[in-house]
């Protein structure tokens, strides 16, 4: 079986996404016949067949992301090739095999990266051996890090062996990773926590709907948390309508569809049920993931009282709701058993003051306390 | 009171073409083009240009070559200019004129090798004095002026030909080059491939000039505009210009007006910015199609010759691919081999370190 590996379709691209297959297993193909449309960061390109022969296996579905150098198509037989050297899936020189998105963006965070003294060859070696140069003291002239330093560091950790055979992040899980990395790079988060006492609630109530109502009330009371912030332009935009991102967990990863105009939406429960079903069936349209002005994460379904949920820019706030608990509380001088909802609020301190966050949380609690 | 002024200088830019988009003559052909052999040669090289070019893109898409700039739809410019040059002239190319290299006898595998990341591709087997491809924008114009100065100094009757894109003519290098060429009356021809796109920047956002040839006027360098999709116009304009240049009349500019019917490079996607209606319009202007129509109308070309040509060209390109893929890669130490006659001490040390590390990693 001859395997065609995804080449670098641009200039130093770590991966590309399958847009459309033009062939299927068993098809007879000619040299240079278009096999698949691949989308890169810059272009949609047609990948032609390197050989004439019969297609054996396609190594991915449409929408899948394939790393540069990873198998793309296997041929079950080949009838004609150009003079073949073994195809390594590389182009000019030695391409990095790893997905460059994570380590490179994460490195930007490390202030000390700028102070690393190492030649490009040593940096390359460190990447290959999964050695973090920020934690190495150089033994070369002027404290430069040498190849030997990197090799010693690699030998004393077991990172090199445990980091092989990685399962690549795909789809929603990959989107989550990118969103979290972006947040970590940009946002200056601060969190406050408190409880809402709900002993006054009358009858069975839809907890999620009560929380959404309370968030909308708090957004009206303190609009600076229902906002977007642009760190580059250093400007914020406050909203009067609440477009609520609702975090929904699934086996595939984290989905956050948006409920538009949550403040006066009679269909709230239906929308939430629909979203949950669509997430389960993986039929949720991608346009439903855009435009949130604030997010709710109901993380305490099984366990967990408080958290520091992550703000996803350009939003400036996220409300986390923990597991409802029964506590012994004091009411009018009497110790009584009542139910509390633990609340966690994370806000982007670049755009929101502590006072604003505190007032928001106050309004949230006040609304939740209401009998109905 | 009305102010009085008088005209002290007047300028005009002319436009030339022989074949329109339908392959019809727009004027009688001059003696130089009344030559069936030449016309067939121009046609054959344009077809070779397009075929080797499409294969280059396929090689990049299958990981066998690096980033490559196509000359799709612009074959008439490289081929027309190259065919009008003499063997002793010097080509100082940029990256979208491979047709000139081919028609001058350069090898296809040399082009593949260069864009495959191997500088040995610029060590031309026959065209020893032609320059390597310039990838930086407009720098080649200054190199061309330098070569022209050397030719003038040696009192030789040779000409230098360099190419540049429309975007490149906005650069200082270009203006400096034409200025010096004008002042020194240097034997150099500047050919502007005006394909109306500098990557994604359209000509309308590149310059307010009506033509690019007129940029020479400020430097005292005469020029003209030709239909860049009419290989006969490109050939004739080049032939006339080179004749004057070799006679010591100084530099000249030819602006070949065309359209980029391809991506800027294999790392680009022109569909994202080229208006589809423009692409449709220029499809009808195809340089290969119009010459074929003309040749057929003159009974200089038939279906049989067409089939034979495509079979021949396919074979030639396949052989070039084979030759390209059969060339063994250079050892990593080659990076030290070409800059110094005697390697300095610190580079010898680095070379040793590299050699040692190669020894360690040879356990694959």
Tens of pLDDT along chain B (364 residues) come to 789 999 999 999 999 999 999 999 999 999 999 999 999 999 999 999 999 999 999 999 999 999 999 999 999 999 999 999 999 999 999 999 999 999 999 999 999 999 999 999 999 999 999 999 999 999 999 999 999 999 999 999 999 999 999 999 999 999 999 999 999 999 999 999 999 999 999 999 999 999 999 999 999 999 999 999 999 999 999 999 999 999 999 999 999 999 999 999 998 999 999 999 999 999 999 999 999 999 999 999 999 999 999 999 999 999 999 999 999 988 888 989 888 999 999 999 999 888 888 875 544 3
pLDDT given for residue A148 in this prediction: 85
Closest by CA position to B59, among listed A285, A99, A91: A91
Q: Using CB atoms within 10 A of its CB, is residue A312 exposed (0-12), middle (13-18) or buried (19+)?
A: buried
- Say yes or no: ipTM exceeds 0.85: no
A139 vs A28, more confident: A28
Does B352 contact chain A (CB < 8 Å)? no
> pTM value?
0.64
pLDDT at A115 over 80: no
Other beta carbons within 10 angstroms of residue A267's beta carbon come to 10
Q: Give residue A94's pLDDT.
A: 39
Report the range of poorest mean pLDDT among A72-86, A194-208, A298-312, B95-109: A72-86
- Token output for B276: 């589809």
Class of domain A101-162: few secondary structures
Comparing A79 with A35, the larger pLDDT belongs to: A35
Report whether pLDDT(A1) > 90. no
Mean pLDDT of A131-154: 84
When pLDDT is cut at 50, 70 and 90, the band that residue A109 belongs to is: very low
> ∠ at Cα B51 (B232, B163), nearest 5°?
50
> Has B351 been annotated as catalytic?
no
Among the partner residues B55, B116, B325, nearest to A92 by beta-carbon distance? B116
Q: Residue A161 above 90 pLDDT?
A: no
Q: For chain A, which residues make up each domain, given as ranges?
A: 2-80, 101-162, 173-369
Q: What is the pLDDT of residue B296?
A: 97
Q: Tell me which chain A residue has its CA closest to the CA of residue B269.
A: A43
The CA distance from B294 to B25, in Å, is 8
Active-site option among B143, B158, B264, B292: B264
Can you give the pLDDT at residue A286?
A: 78
- What mean pLDDT comes out for the span A180-206? 93
CA nearest to B99, candidates B171, B193, B1, B186: B193
Q: What is the pLDDT of residue A163?
A: 60
Q: Which of A92-106, A180-194, A350-364 has the lowest mean pLDDT?
A: A92-106
Q: Which of B61, B273, B315, B322 is catalytic?
A: B273
- From residue B344, give the alpha-carbon distance in Å to each of A49, B213, B349, B357: 46, 47, 9, 20
Whether the pLDDT of residue A96 is over 70: the answer is no
Structure tokens at A223: 């609009």
Which residues does A115 contact at the CB level (< 8 Å), separation at least 6? none
**Residue A156 in 3-state DSSP?**
helix
Q: Is the CB of residue B269 less than 8 Å away from at least one CB of chain A?
A: yes
Q: What is the widest separation between alpha-carbon atoms in chain A?
A: 91
**pLDDT surpasses 50 at A366:** yes
* A57 membership: H or E segment, kind and range: strand A52-58
Residue with tokens 């396929």: B58
| Residue B364, pLDDT score | 37
B272 counts as catalytic: no
Residue B348 is predicted with a pLDDT of 92
pLDDT value at residue B186:
98
Supply the pLDDT for residue A108: 39
Write down the pLDDT at residue A158. Answer: 54
Work out the pLDDT band at A282, boundaries 50, 70, 90. confident
B272, B95, B112, B127: which is closest to B195 by C-alpha?
Answer: B95
CB A16 within 8 A of CB A43: no
Interface with chain B: mutation pick from A2, A30, A32, highest number of B CBs within 10 Å: A32
Q: Considering only the top CATH level, what class is A173-369?
A: alpha beta
| DSSP element (H, E) containing B351 | helix B345-360
Q: Does domain B15-329 have CATH number 3.40.640.10?
A: no
pLDDT value, residue A153: 85
B40 classed as catalytic: no
Map residue A236 onto helix, strand or coil.
strand
Q: Name which of A11, A32, A46 is nearest B67 (Cβ-Cβ).
A: A11
Mutant choice from B56, B62, B120, B319 vs A, greatest count of A C-beta within 10 A: B62
Number of Cβ within 10 Å of residue A166's Cβ equals 9
Given a cut of 90, whether residue A358 has pLDDT beyond it is: yes
Paired tokens of A179: 């969103």
- For A43-94, the pLDDT digits (tens) are 888 999 999 999 999 999 998 999 999 999 999 998 877 544 344 443 333 3
Query: Domain A2-80's class?
Result: mainly beta
The whole-angstrom distance between residue A357's C-alpha and the CA centroid of its chain comes to 25
Helix A354-369 to helix A207-221 angle, to the nearest 10 degrees?
Answer: 140
Closest partner residue to A93 among B61, B62, B117, by Cβ? B117
Cα B78-B83-B84 angle, rounded to 5 deg? 105
Q: Could you tell me the residue ranges of all domains in chain B?
A: 15-329, 332-364
List residues bridging with A57 in a β-sheet. A74
Check if the beta carbon of residue A368 is closer than 8 Å to that of residue A342.
no
């Amino acid at each position: 079986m001859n395997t065609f590996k995804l080449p670098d379709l641009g200039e130093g691209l770590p991966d590309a996404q399958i847009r459309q297959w033009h062939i299927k297993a068993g098809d007879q193909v000619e040299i240079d016949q278009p096999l698949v449309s691949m989308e890169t960061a810059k272009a949609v390109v047609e990948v032609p067949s390197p050989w004439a022969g019969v297609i054996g296996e396609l190594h991915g579905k449409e929408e899948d992301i394939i790393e540069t150098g990873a198998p793309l198509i296997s041929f079950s037989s080949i009838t004609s090739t150009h003079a073949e050297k073994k195809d390594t899936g590389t182009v000019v020189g030695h391409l990095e095999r790893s997905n460059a998105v994570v380590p490179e963006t994460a490195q930007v965070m490390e202030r000390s990266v700028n102070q690393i003294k190492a030649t490009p060859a040593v940096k390359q070696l460190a990447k290959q051996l999964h050695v973090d140069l920020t934690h190495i003291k150089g033994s070369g002239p002027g404290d430069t890090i040498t190849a030997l330093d990197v090799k010693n560091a690699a030998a004393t950790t077991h990172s090199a062996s445990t980091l092989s055979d990685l399962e690549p992040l795909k789809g929603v899980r990959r989107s989550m990773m990118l969103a979290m990395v972006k947040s970590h790079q940009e946002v200056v988060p601060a969190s406050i926590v408190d409880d809402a006492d709900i002993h006054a609630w009358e009858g069975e109530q839809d907890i999620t709907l009560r929380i959404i109502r309370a968030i909308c009330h708090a957004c009206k009371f303190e609009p600076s948390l229902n906002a977007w912030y642009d760190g580059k332009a250093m400007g914020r935009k406050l909203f009067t309508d609440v477009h609520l991102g609702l975090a929904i967990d699934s086996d595939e990863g984290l989905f956050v569809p948006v409920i538009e105009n949550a403040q006066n939406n009679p269909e709230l429960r239906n929308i939430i049920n629909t979203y949950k079903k669509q997430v389960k069936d993986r039929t949720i349209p991608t346009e439903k993931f855009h435009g949130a002005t604030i997010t709710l994460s109901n993380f305490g379904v099984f366990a967990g009282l408080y958290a520091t949920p992550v703000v996803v820019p350009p939003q400036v706030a996220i409300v986390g709701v923990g597991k409802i608990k029964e506590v012994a509380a004091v009411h009018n001088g009497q110790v009584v058993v009542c139910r509390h909802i633990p609340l966690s609020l994370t806000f982007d301190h670049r755009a929101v003051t502590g006072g604003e966050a505190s007032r928001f949380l106050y309004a949230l609690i006040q609304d939740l306390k209401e009998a109905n | 009171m009305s102010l009085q002024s008088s005209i002290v200088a007047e300028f005009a830019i002319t436009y030339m073409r022989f074949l329109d988009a339908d392959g019809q003559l727009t004027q009688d052909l001059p003696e130089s083009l009344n030559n069936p052999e030449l016309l067939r040669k121009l046609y054959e090289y344009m077809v070779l240009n397009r075929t080797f070019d499409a294969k280059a893109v396929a090689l990049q898409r299958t990981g066998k070559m690096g980033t490559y700039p196509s000359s799709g739809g612009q074959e008439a410019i490289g081929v027309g200019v190259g065919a009008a040059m003499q063997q002793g002239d010097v080509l100082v190319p940029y990256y979208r004129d491979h047709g000139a290299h081919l028609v001058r006898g350069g090898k296809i595998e040399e082009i593949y090798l260069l864009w495959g990341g191997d500088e040995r591709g610029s060590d031309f087997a026959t065209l020893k004095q032609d320059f390597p491809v310039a990838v930086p924008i407009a720098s080649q114009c200054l190199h061309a002026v330098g070569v022209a100065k050397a030719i003038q100094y040696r009192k030789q009757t040779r000409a230098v030909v360099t190419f540049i894109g429309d975007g490149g003519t906005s650069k200082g290098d270009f203006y400096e080059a034409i200025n010096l060429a004008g002042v020194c009356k240097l034997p150099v021809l500047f050919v502007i491939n005006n394909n109306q796109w500098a990557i994604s920047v359209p000509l309308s956002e590149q310059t307010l000039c009506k033509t690019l040839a007129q940029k020479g006027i400020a430097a005292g360098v005469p020029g003209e505009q030709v239909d860049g999709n009419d290989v006969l116009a490109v050939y004739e304009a080049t032939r006339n210009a080179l004749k004057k240049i070799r006679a010591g009349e100084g530099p000249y500019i030819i602006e070949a007006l065309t359209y980029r019917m391809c991506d800027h490079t294999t790392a680009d996607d022109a569909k994202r910015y080229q208006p589809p209606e423009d692409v449709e319009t220029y499809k009808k202007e195809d340089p290969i199609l119009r010459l074929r129509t003309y040749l057929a109308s003159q009974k200089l070309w038939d279906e049989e010759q067409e089939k034979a040509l495509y079979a021949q060209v396919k074979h030639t390109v396949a052989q070039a691919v084979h030759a390209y893929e059969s060339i063994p890669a250079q050892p990593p130490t080659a990076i030290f081999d070409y800059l110094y006659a005697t390697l300095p001490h610190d580079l010898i040390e680095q070379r040793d370190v590299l050699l040692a590390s190669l020894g360690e990693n040879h356990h694959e």
